[in-house]
Amino acid sequence: MNGPALGAGCDFALGCDLRVMGEEAFLREQFVNIGLVPGDGGAWLLPRLVGEAKAKELVMTGRDVGPEEAVDLGLAVESVPTDEVLEAGRELANTIRDKPGTAMQETKALFDDSATYDDYAQAAIEAQRAARDDPEHTEAVTALREGRDPDFDRSY
């Protein structure tokens, strides 16, 4: 994010897995400021990200959340100078991209707010099996043992 994310823009940003914010960026759940309710997901997303009390504060006050506070609250991964946002975002995305694909997909799927712990445990067993059986797992372990970076076949 390299500028303001207001209302639905804030909710869109909160819907992303990870956020990098420039020093001039801020989030604002501004709906109450203009006599509306956060119908784009903010009142559902924020409690899951920062807890109910902090979410209520942010939604009910409609105040700005700058990059440093966003990092402190866990709403952003990092705050960087505005002209470095794109580079920092790409670096973060590339770091994730370069991980074993099946493990990454299965890991992300485990984040399910509606699942019970038993549901999660069962899903984790199945996900672990899928990740373990993936050739990228074998390459990652071999590379770790050999002290080198893994070389995943990404020709697909």
Whole-structure pTM value: 0.84
Cα distance between residue 36 and residue 63, in whole Å: 15
All structural domains of the chain with their residue ranges: 4-95, 99-146
Whole-number pLDDT of residue 154: 74
Per CATH, the homologous superfamily of domain 4-95 is 2-enoyl-CoA Hydratase; Chain A, domain 1 (3.90.226.10)
Nearest 10 degrees: Cα torsion 122, 126, 128, 132:
160
pLDDT interval class at 69 (50, 70, 90): very high
End-to-end Cα spacing for the chain = 31
The stretch 122-131 carries a mean pLDDT of 94
Q: Is the pLDDT of residue 4 over 90?
A: yes
User: Which residues contact residue 50 at a Cβ distance below 8 angstroms, ignoring those fewer than 6 apart?
Assistant: 58, 73, 74, 75
Whole-number pLDDT of residue 113: 84
